[in-house]
Structure 1
C-alpha cells in the first residue's frame, strides 16, 4: 500500500478537533497509526492525555513537550516518548518557523480490541505552560 502526498492533506476535521495541523497517514495498519503534526511559529497544542502510547520524531523546528511536570526540549532529529495517560502538550518555541513532527501511536490496536482508545482535553488552558 502507498499513501502519496500525505502532508498535502493537513487541514480538515481532525486538525480542527486538535487545534493544530495534522495529516493522517492513511494506510491499513491494524496496530499502529502515523500522523504528521504541524505547529505554526509560536503555536502549542492543547493540554491533553490519552490511553495510548506516542512516539514523536521531530522533522523540523525546535520546541518542547511538557509531559506532566517535566519539560522535554527537542529539535529536528530528536525523538520524544509520551507515556500512556500522561497530561502533555507540544510547543513550538520558534517565533518565525513552523515545527513538524511524525507521531506514531498504538491507537488502532486499542480500537481493534474493542473501541478502547480514549483521549481527553484539559478543561482549561489558563495557567498552563
Structure 2
C-alpha cells in the first residue's frame, strides 16, 4: 500500500491530489493512553462548568471527549452546528434537547442534533455521572462552518 506524508490542509492548488483511489496517510499517533490521567481541558471545562477530558488523536472528521457531571450538576445550555452522540458510562440523569427531556442511565446512548439547544443534568446528589461524547466537530471546523453558542456567554 502506498504511503504518503500527511498534509495539514489543502488549498486550490492541490486539486490534482484528489485521487481515484484512497492513499494511506500515516498519522502522527494511533493511541492516547490513559485519557483521564492527562487531566481535564481547563478552559473548556471551566466554560462548561463540568470536567471534560479531550481524546487527543489526529482525527479529521470526528472527535471524542469524556464528560463528567458532578453530583447534582446541571450544565449550561448550549448549541452547536455539529452532531453529538453520547454514550453514558456511569450514572443517571437527563439531557434537555430543545424542550424535550431525555432521561438516561449507564449503557444508554443519546443523540443531540445539530443546532439544538441542550444541557445535561446528573440526577444523583451523591454519585458522579460520566459519558463519552462523539462529534463531527473536526469535520465542520476543517470546512470553516463549525459554530458553538453558550447561553449566558454568547446571548
Q: Tell me the TM-score normalised to structure 2 length.
A: 0.77
Structure 1 residue aligned with 2:131: 101
Which of 131, 135, 141 is 1:111 aligned to? 141
Quick check: 1:87 aligned with 2:79? no
User: Which structure exhibits the higher relative contact order, with contacts defined as CA atoms closer than 8 Å and separated by 6 or more residues?
Assistant: 1
Secondary structure of the equivalent of 1:59? Answer: strand
The size of the alignment, in residue pairs, is 123
Aligned counterparts of 1:13 and 1:112: Cα–Cα separation in 2: 21
Q: How does 1:29-108 map to 2 (within 5 A)?
A: 29-108=59-138
Note closer, same or farther for the CA distance 1:11–1:31 as it changes in structure 2 (3 Å cut): closer
Q: Mark the runs of 5 or more structure 2 residues left unpaired by the alignment.
A: 1-29
**Unmatched segments (≥5 aa) in structure 1:** 125-129
- Secondary structure class of the residue paired with 1:84: coil
- Structure having the higher strand fraction is 1
> For 1:60-107, what per-residue CA distance to the aligned partner results, in whole angstroms no more than 9, with x for missing partners?
000000001100000000000000000000100001000000000000
Aligned Cα root-mean-square deviation (Å): 1.1
Q: Which runs of 4+ in 1 moved over 3 A?
A: none
Indicate the residue corresponding to 2:14 in structure 1: none
